[in-house]
Amino acid sequence: MMDTKLLTLVGSGFAESLYMTFFATLFSYVIGLPIGLILAITSPEGIKPSREINFGLGAVVNFLRSVPFIILAVAIIPLTRLVTGTSIGSTAAIVPLVVAAAPLVARSVESSVKGVDSGVIEAARSMGATTWQIIKKVMLPEALPSLITGLASATITVLGFSAMAGAFGGGGLGAIAINYGYYRGQSDIMYVMVILLVLMVQIIQKIGDRMSVRVDKTIRESGSAAPEDNNTEH
């Protein structure tokens, strides 16, 4: 195979993977973030406990999470056709990616928000904050470092799913790896794809970690430890 041809192939695969991952992650959050918040606030220890809502929503999320991605993608082909008009290609792959990732995102958001100190939420309630104010001004900002870490994980999961989507016409690096590497026996191409995927995962993780630390005000810069009570107060 010629080098330029290989480069074009890799370039378009890379672009397709990025495209699928970006939009699938974005829409997963559009759906998963509110669901995660609802799960957190309707839980028994939440600010608006509701057994019915929590149980119902939780059951749907658990159901979707327990179906393997490949099977889910095939099962929802009618939905994919309805939304995108086709069942082949990167845009079509976004639909099953979102259906599979949104429940993961919901659980990840739920656990980030539940990690916010309940005392801080109680303090906000004692000040007369409304439920919406608590969500907007307490839960989300206080959970931000954890939400960013969750976003990195979710993006990596979606990238992995998108490589799987390559096996049934989704395009991207996964498709190249399976078509050239497996069906044609060109294992060198497969290895290149694997290395590229690994690099992408590493980069996403690093960016996520960095951003999480940067926004987190509970992490002190070195050399500025909190003062002790006795020697600083007058």
Partner 1 sequence: MADSINNIIQISGLRKVFSDGTKTVTALDGISLEVRQGEIFGIIGLSGAGKSTLVRCINLLETPTEGSVIVDGKDMASLNEADLLEARRKIGMIFQGFNLLQQRSALENVCFPLEIAGVKKEDAKVRAASLLETVGLGDRLDAYPSQLSGGMQQRVAIARALANEPKVLLCDEATSALDPKTTLQILELLQKINKEFGVTIVVITHEMKVIERICSRVAILAESRVVESGEVSEVFRHPKTSAAKQLIFPQGEKIETFRGGKRLLRLAFDGTTTDQPIVANMVLSCGEAVSILAADTKLIEGKTVGQMVLQLPENESAAERMLAYLDQENISYTEGE
Given the rule CB under 8 A, which residues bind partner 1? 117, 119-120, 122-130, 133, 137-138, 141-142, 144-145, 215-220, 224, 226-230, 232-234
**16 vs 142 by CB, closer to partner 1:** 142
Instruction: Provide the minimum distance between the beta carbon of 139 and partner 1 in the complex, in angstroms, as a whole number.
Output: 11
Instruction: Provide the minimum distance between the beta carbon of 113 and partner 1 in the complex, in angstroms, as a whole number.
Output: 13
**Span between the terminal Cα atoms of the chain, in Å:** 77
Can you read off the two tokens belonging to residue 143?
């959970």
**9 vs 148 by CB, closer to partner 1:** 148
**4 vs 218 by CB, closer to partner 1:** 218
Instruction: Provide the minimum distance between the beta carbon of 197 and partner 1 in the complex, in angstroms, as a whole number.
Output: 34
Which residue from 34, 48, 57 is spatially nearest to 140, judged by alpha carbons? 34
Instruction: Provide the minimum distance between the beta carbon of 111 and partner 1 in the complex, in angstroms, as a whole number.
Output: 18
**149 vs 157 by CB, closer to partner 1:** 149
Q: For residue 93, how many other CB atoms are within 10 A of its CB? A: 31
Instruction: Provide the minimum distance between the beta carbon of 155 and partner 1 in the complex, in angstroms, as a whole number.
Output: 23
Q: Kindly give, in sequence order, each residue whose CB lies less than 8 Å from that of residue 27, ignoring residues fewer than 6 positions away.
A: 94, 98, 102
Q: How far from 165 is each of 113, 143, 150, CA to CA, in Å?
A: 31, 32, 22
**148 vs 190 by CB, closer to partner 1:** 148
Q: How far from 181 is each of 6, 24, 112, 160, 195, CA to CA, in Å?
A: 13, 26, 39, 17, 13
